[in-house]
Structure 1
Amino acid sequence: MIDAHHHLWDLSAVSYPWLMAEGVARFFGDPTPIQRDYLLSAFRNDAATEGITASVHIQVGAADGMAEARWVQSVADANADWPMAQVVFCDLTACDLGDTLDAFQNLSTVRGVRQIVGRAPGEDAVTGTNGLLDDSRFAQGLREAGRRGLSFDLQLIPELMEKTARVLERAPDTQIALCHAGSPHDRSPQGLRDWADKMRRLSSLPQVTCKLSGLGMFQHNWTQDDVRPIIETCLEQFGPERCMFGSNFPVDSLYSDYATLVTAHRSTVPKGMHDQVFHGTASRFYAL
């Protein structure tokens, strides 16, 4: 099994300003319990007992994206028995994009890049990251990433899906991993119907693969019955060959332990789809 979306951090090695901010409420909850090192050894303790044998590290808001990427590379080099790829932060609108991507691609673990388009409505209004969709340099950067064989991890909210699909159509050769099932933040019946309708625009694009991850961030007291319709909708729209499991640990450790998370996904995904969702899709997408 592969966990296609998790984070690690060593607070003495890399700076994470968002993580260490005190008294700052975030859309995913109070970060206080995770304001401590989360190293590969801790992740393996969580994941290996559930059958996970490889993983994908996703950038997580370091002050210096290159420093984070080099640290993750050093962790992977020191733990050759644990196959791990990584997705790095890169500003696709930067004037020195080519040089930056050259540097990232010198690291053997790098498979893709992420630049968050949307987190949650309230936070997006402050950060202004939604504006990337109106920046022609962003679409150009997506094309450049794809030209180099790099994927793009897309985090956004349902309200941005139609606009994002139009941007992605301008970079058809770039493989896209849709983080957290498109962040269905409104869990009311009508909210889930609206999310499912908007998702069809993205699922219609063959380059987009969906991550079943981060489902606790907008419903902290979730149960399997709560996440079932989300997982089932993703499987119906994308198919198992374009869906992959991710824990979003340690962020989602705020809401459940690893075993509970895996059990909820395993029990909801039909057994005939397990090989793809828990291994094959991520293995192909991230070349693990």
Structure 2
Amino acid sequence: MTQWIDAHHHLWDLNAVSYPWLMARGVERFFGDPTPIQRDYLLDEFRSEAEPCGVRASVHIQVGAKNGLDEARWVQSVADANRDWPMAQVVFCDLTSADLSAQLDTFQSLTTVRGLRQIVGRAPGEDAQTGTNTLLDSAAFATGLQEAGRRGLSFDLQLIPELMEKTARVLAQAPETQIALCHAGSPHDRSPEGLRDWAQHQRALSALPHVTCKLSGLGMFDHTWTPDSIRPIIETCLDQFGPDRVMFGSNFPVDKLYGDYATLANAYHDLVPVEAHQAVFQDTAARFYDLQLPQAD
């Protein structure tokens, strides 16, 4: 049986690290009402949900801490205290920073760090008010992407379909930097027309050999999702990228707002063709994030 890697999840200890969005009460987010998850979410709880589904290792993704280095050091401490659970992490770093090289030196002193994330786009409405779409016009951002690749660091890319062609032109300037497309490119319009447009836009990214796709976060724009409603997204990603460039991620605890882990895992298990299971649920993530799974029992 394939041992799964969850390639996209979050943890937080509100007493250890400051997360402004988790402290802000009554603020609706692009994915809905965060109130139920505005509490500690620690590794023990995540493991209690993921392990019964066959997950044996994971990748922690930065999640809006006030200070990215504080978060990264805390995640490192969690990994150090739980050696039986292989966990890599992707940290927040502003690639346009004047002191980028020094920041990356510090991050790379942490053994769990594999990559960086700086969100390009979340959702049209939220981006219009607080978004960072303008990163795509920054020469420093493109240079930062190149520096990440020179250092062997990957980049987790979160954006919306409308930005994909423009982003592809930026990514083409950093061919050595491995890119993980978060949340299947955030197809926020789930109408037949919206999914058609998303699939068309995504071809600009799937055509780049250094871009890998995460099947994650699909509940954020479909709060009553069913296997049938996410089927076309999974099928399109597998068709465009191929199983060797597709990996599973739960996006817990954010997607916990819309279903339990077992329901999510079972849906993916059934929707991904059996012959693609080894790649999608283990090998792609293990290779991309350089994760060693524990020996099977």
Superposition TM-score tier, normalisation by shorter sequence: over 0.9
Counterpart CA distance in 2 for 1:26 and 1:67 is 24
In 2: Cα distance, 1:140 partner to 1:14 partner: 30
Match for 2:101 among 90, 98, 103? Answer: 98
For residues 179 and 138 of structure 1, the distance between their equivalents in structure 2, rounded to whole angstroms, comes to 18
Partner of 1:77: 80
Matched, 1:144 2:147: yes
For residue 154 of structure 1, report the CA deviation from its aligned partner. 0.0
- Give the Cα–Cα distance (whole angstroms) in 2 for the partners of residues 34 and 18 of structure 1: 11
Structure 1 gap ranges (5+): none
**Greater mean alpha carbon deviation, residues 125-134 or residues 47-56:** 125-134
Identity among equivalent pairs (%): 76
In 2, Cα distance between equivalents of 1:267 and 1:185 = 23
Q: Is 1:214 matched up with 2:217? A: yes
Match of 1:182 in 2: 185
| Cα distance in structure 1, aligned partners of 2:215 and 2:227 | 13
In the TM superposition, what is the alpha-carbon distance from 1:268 to its structure 2 partner?
0.3
State the alpha-carbon separation in 2 of the partners of residues 23 and 287 from structure 1: 39
Amino acid at match of 2:200: D
> Could you give the per-residue CA deviations for residues 6-44 of structure 1, whole angstroms, max 9, x where no partner exists?
000000000000112111111101000001100000000
- Cross-structure match for 1:259: 262
SS at match of 2:95: coil
Which residue pairs with 1:29 in the alignment? Answer: 32
How many pairs were matched up?
Answer: 288
Equivalent AA in structure 1 for residue 152 of structure 2? G
Deviations 1:33-77 (A, max 9, x none): 001100000000010000000000000000000000000000000
What's the TM-score, normalizing by structure 2?
Answer: 0.97
**Residue of structure 2 in register with 1:283 after alignment:** 286
C-alpha distance in structure 2 between counterparts of 1:168 and 1:51, whole Å: 34
Contact 2:122–2:131 (CA<8 Å) still a contact in 1? no
- The answer to whether 1:224 aligns with 2:212 is no
Q: What is the rounded CA distance, in whole Å, between the counterparts of 1:55 and 1:160 in structure 2?
A: 28
Unmatched 5+ residue regions in structure 2?
292-297
Q: Does 1:169 align with 2:172?
A: yes
> Which runs of structure 1 show a deviation greater than 4 angstroms over 4 or more consecutive aligned residues?
none
Amino acid at match of 2:231: R
Equivalent-residue separation in structure 2 for 1:84 and 1:242 (angstroms): 20
Out of 255, 273, 277, which is 2:276 matched to? 273
How many Å apart are 1:128 and its aligned residue? 3.3
The alignment yields a C-alpha RMSD, in angstroms, of 0.4
Scaled by the length of structure 1, the TM-score of the pair is 1.00
Matched residue SS, 2:55: coil
Query: What CA deviation, in whole Å up to 9, does each residue of 1:172-203 have, x standing for no partner?
Result: 11000000000000000000000000010100
